[in-house]
Amino acid sequence: MNDALLIPSPTGSTRLYAVVGDPIAQVQAPTLLNQLFAERGIDALMLPVQAGAADFATVIEGLKRIGNLDGLLITVPHKLAVAAHADEQSLTVALTSSSNALRRQANGRWLADNFDGAGFVAGLRNAGRDPEGWRVALFGSGGAGNAIAVALLQAGIDRLDLFDVDRSRAARFAERLEQYWPGQVRVLDAAQPGEVELAINATPIGMQPGDPLPFDLEGLAPRTLIADIIMKPAETRLLQSAAAKGHAVQPGIHMLSSQLGLYRQFFGLDPAQ
Amino acid sequence: MNDALLIPSPTGSTRLYAVVGDPIAQVQAPTLLNQLFAERGIDALMLPVQAGAADFATVIEGLKRIGNLDGLLITVPHKLAVAAHADEQSLTVALTSSSNALRRQANGRWLADNFDGAGFVAGLRNAGRDPEGWRVALFGSGGAGNAIAVALLQAGIDRLDLFDVDRSRAARFAERLEQYWPGQVRVLDAAQPGEVELAINATPIGMQPGDPLPFDLEGLAPRTLIADIIMKPAETRLLQSAAAKGHAVQPGIHMLSSQLGLYRQFFGLDPAQ
C-alpha cells in the first residue's frame, strides 16, 4: 500500500458505489473515484467487488437492494450480463447489448448505460478534436468497439466504416445501426481504412508483443488521427508506427480517464449539475 | 465529517466486511473496525450496508457471493433472520436463534455466531471480574439477554436465575439451556434477584427518562455487581441507583467495546492468532 490514497472511513451516511468484475485486482475505478470524492468532499465510497460469472446475478440483485448503494460500474466479464438486471437501458445499451454502468433513479428503477463509447468521444473532445462531420474507420466489433460506434454516430460523424474479422458480426451490428443512422454505416471487406479523419483500433490486436498491426496504415492521409483503445501497453505498435509516419495518435487511457467525469454525472455526484 | 477517520482507499486486494442493518446511520462498527485495520496495517474495510427486512435475504445472499467479502456483522432488525443464511451455526446461535456475525470459512461454508454474550463476558473479564462459579440473575429474555445467558454458562457460572415479564418466554428458553447445563437454570417469579454475585438488566427498561428500575435493588448484598446492557443513556437510572447504594456497576458500552477483539478473531484478522 505504497502511496495509498487516504479517504474518510465510511459512516452510516456514506453513499456506496461498487465496481463489479472478475478478476478485480486490476481495477482503477475505486482509487480514481475515491480520490475525486475526497477532493470534492462528497460523502461517497467506490468499492471493488469481485464476482464470478456464476455468482453475478445473485451479487447484482443483492447490491441493487442495498439502501445506501446508488450505483454500479461493471467490468469484464459481465458487461453483456448487466442489461437483464436493469429496468431501463440507454440507446447505447439497447444497440450494443453491453453495459458498464447501472444506477438507481429517483423513481427507484435501475438504469443501465455504457460509457466506453462516450468516454472515447469525450477523450477526443478533451484533446480539442470534435468528431462532428468526420468519416471514421473502426476496427473490431466487440463490446467496446460497438459502444464507440454508437457514441461517434450520436456525436454527429458523417460516415462509419466497420471491420471485424468476423464479417457477419460487423454486418449484424451495422444493420442495427442502420435503423437509427440510415446510409451512414458500411462494412469493410478488409482491414484497410479508406479516406477518413479517424481510424480506431478496438480489437485486442496489439496487447501481445508479437502482434501484427490491427489495420493497414499505408495510403492514409497524414492528417488521419489514429486511436487505440488498448491500455496495456500504453503505446501499442500501432500508435508507434502511426506516430513514426507523422499521424496524430490517441492512446487508450483517454477513453478511461474521460469516463470519470461521465460516471460522476451519471451517478448524480457532479456539484456542477 | 468532523474528526473523520482517514483510511486507505480500497483496492482490488482489499478484503471487505459489512455491517447490515436498518437503519444504519447509528452503527459504530465501520469506524471502530476501520480504525483498528488502519492501525494494524490490515488491508480490509468495514462497510455500513442498509437493508430493510423485505430486502434482507436478497442482500445477504448477494453479499455472501462476493469473492472479496469475508464476513458480515448483523444488527437490528435482522438478528433472528441470519441463521437461515448460514451453513453452520455456533451453539449460542442454535440456542438463541439470534446471530450478529457471519463469516466464510476456509471450506467456503458460512458460519453464524453471536458475540453479544461473549462481548458481555469479555467486558467482565477486561474489568478483572471472572464470573466462573458465580450466581447470576438475568432480567430480560430477548436476543441479547439470551446470548448473555449462554455466554455466562459457557464461562462456568454456577447458577443462572432468569426473569422476563413474559414468563413463558423465559421458561421456554430455560428448558433449552437445561439440555446443556442441567440443574443450573431457574426461572424467577418476580423481578427480584436473590443472593447473587451479578445482576444484569437485559431489558429495554431504562432507555426512557421516566422508566422504573428493571429489578429491585433492595436486599442485595453490597458486593453484588450490577450490570446494564443499555448504551443510551450511558448511565441508566439502574446504574446510578446501584452506585449510590455502593454497588460496583458495569455499563453497557463494555459489551460492545469488548466485541471488537472478538470480531477481529472471528474474521481471522488477528495477527496474534
The CATH architecture one would assign to domain A117-255 is 3-Layer(aba) Sandwich (3.40)
> How large is the angle between the packed helices B143-154 and B167-178, nearest 10 degrees?
30
pLDDT at B90: 96
Give the whole-angstrom CA distance, residue A185 versus residue A45.
41
* CA B49 – CA B21 distance, rounded (Å): 7
**pLDDT for position B273:** 39
Q: How close does chain A come to B23, measured CA to CA in Å?
A: 8
pLDDT recorded at residue B2: 44
Q: Give me the residue from B38, B47, B52 closest to A10, CB to CB.
A: B47
Of B27, B35, B68, the CB nearest to A24: B68
Q: What is the CATH number of domain A15-114?
A: 3.40.50.10860
Closest by Cα among A103, A122, A115 to A143: A115
| Contact with chain A for residue B3, Cβ under 8 A | no
CA A159 – CA A154 distance, rounded (Å): 12
**Residue ranges matching CATH 3.40.50.720 in chain B:** 117-254
Q: What is the pLDDT of residue B197?
A: 98
User: Which 40-59 residues of chain B touch chain A by CB within 8 A?
Assistant: 41, 43, 45, 47-52, 55, 58-59
Contact call for B10 and A30, based on CB within 8 A: yes
**Residue B272 pLDDT:** 47
Question: What is the percent of chain B with per-residue pLDDT over 90, rounded to a whole number?
Answer: 85
What does pLDDT average to in each consecutive run of 10 residues of chain A (273 residues)?
80 96 90 92 96 98 98 93 96 94 96 95 95 98 94 98 96 97 97 95 94 94 95 93 97 88 87 48
Nearest CA distance, A62 vs chain B (angstrom): 4
Q: How far is CA B96 from CA A8, B117, B180, in A?
A: 37, 11, 13
| H or E segment to which residue A239 belongs | helix A237-244
Residue type, B54: A
**Residue B92 pLDDT greater than 90, yes or no:** yes
Bridge-based pairing state of the strands A69-74 and A101-104: antiparallel
Q: Complex ipTM, two decimals?
A: 0.84
What CA–CA distance (Å, rounded) separates B193 from B173? Answer: 18
Domain B117-254 carries which CATH code?
A: 3.40.50.720
Would an 8 Å CB–CB cutoff place B1 in contact with chain A? yes
Query: Closest-CA residue in chain A for B68?
Result: A50
- If you average pLDDT over residues B123-128, what whole number do you get? 94
Q: Distance (Å, rounded) from C-alpha B145 to C-alpha A110?
A: 41
Where, residue-wise, is CATH 3.40.50.10860 in chain A?
Answer: 15-114
The H or E element spanning position A7 is: strand A6-8
- Locate cell 467525469: which residue? A261
What pLDDT is attached to residue A273? 39
Hey, what's the torsion of the CAs at B93, B98, B101, B106, to 10 degrees? 30
DSSP bridge partners of A224: none
